[in-house]
Structures are given as C-alpha cells and as structure tokens.
Structure 1
C-alpha cells in the first residue's frame, strides 16, 4: 500500500511528519493493506494564518483494487486531530465497503 501525503501552501510538509502520519495510517489500515493500492492524503489549513475552530482539513482517498475510490474528510483544530479523525472515518468507510461485498 503506497501512501502519498500532500499539503497545501499553508502546511509545511516535513519528512518526519509524513513518516509519522504514514505510520498511523499503516497501523490503522493493516487489515486492508492487501486490498488498498494507494492512499492519498491531502492536508490543508483553510483559514491560512487567521486561525479558527476546525480550520485544519484532512482528506483521505483510498484506492481499492477493483472498486471505486473511497474518500473521507475531517476538520479539526490541529492537523494531528484532523488526521486522527479522518483515519477513523476511512477505516469505518472501508469496513462498510468490504462488509457490503462480503454480504453479496
């Protein structure tokens, strides 16, 4: 499973940050790593340097072999909370997607 992390111009993308978030995603989605070909993570700060509640955004799109991409978005006060919330959401979305496939 390839994990690609992209940031907007308001978020500095450091190698340490990318490896940290990649580790979180790999651990959370280990159950599906053979089914997911790529994860695209987009991090952004929607208010730039103005601040505000819930202005950090994390969008995760999972490219699943043989299926349409599954995507989620989570907003929070910090990038860490946004990634954590989006990770929970993508995990739930994938459980739902694969659960529907197993039911058929």
Structure 2
C-alpha cells in the first residue's frame, strides 16, 4: 500500500508527512492487502481567517478492483481533521470490503484473489 501526502505548497515538512503516514498505517493497516494507494490531502479552508472548522483532511483510498473511496473531515486542527477523516475511511472500507470476508474474518468464496 502506497501512502501519498499532499499539503499546500509542501507545508509541514518531513515530520508532518511521517506522522500522517503512521496514522494512516494504524487506521487502515488491516486493509493493506486490499488497497493499492491512500492519498491524504491536507488544506486550510479559509486561509488567513481562523475558525472552528478551519482545517480540512480529504482521504482517498483505492481498493483493488473497486472504485476509489473518498472521505473528508473539517476540524479546528490538522490532527483532529485527520483523525476524523481516517475514522470515516475505516468505516467506509469496512462497508465496501465486507463482501471479501465472511463474518468470521476468513476469505470469502465470492472473492477471487487472482
């Protein structure tokens, strides 16, 4: 699974990118075999103005053999926005990929892993 982090004008540096990659791995690592790439887009919604929901995190996951799944979350800080979006992504992937496993977590006979 490839993790790509996009920030406005490369803001944040290597520390931010490393923390985002770690958070993504922790949040959706259990789906690693079913995902080719996860893209994280961090942005400031209203630039210089402040606000309660000023930071936005858009996360797009690309499952193998399915359409991409995108979720977003807005919050006061980047970590809060990222945690909210990754929580939504985990739930969306649970729903989208549920047919690939049975109720006990084993591979489904309907899913051919060719």
Moved segments of 4+, more than 3 Å:
100-104
SS in 2 for 1:25: helix
Q: Quick check: which has more Rg, 1 or 2?
A: 2
Two-structure CA RMSD over aligned residues (Å): 1.6
Structure with greater contact order relative to length (CA < 8 Å, sep ≥ 6): 1
Q: If the length of structure 1 is used for normalisation, what is the TM-score?
A: 0.91
Is residue 67 of structure 1 aligned with residue 66 of structure 2?
yes
In structure 2, runs of 5+ residues without a counterpart are: 103-109
Q: Distance in 1 between matches of 2:26 and 2:100?
A: 23
Alignment of 1:91-102 (within 5 A): 91-102=90-101
Is residue 16 of structure 1 aligned with residue 49 of structure 2?
no
Is residue 27 of structure 1 aligned with residue 62 of structure 2?
no
Q: Provide, for residues 2-32 of structure 1, a one-character-per-residue CA deviation record: whole Å limited to 9, x for no partner.
A: 00000124x7231110001100110111110
In structure 1, runs of 5+ residues without a counterpart are: none
More deviation, 47-56/82-91: 47-56
Q: Distance in 1 between matches of 2:5 and 2:15?
A: 12
Equivalenced residues, count: 103
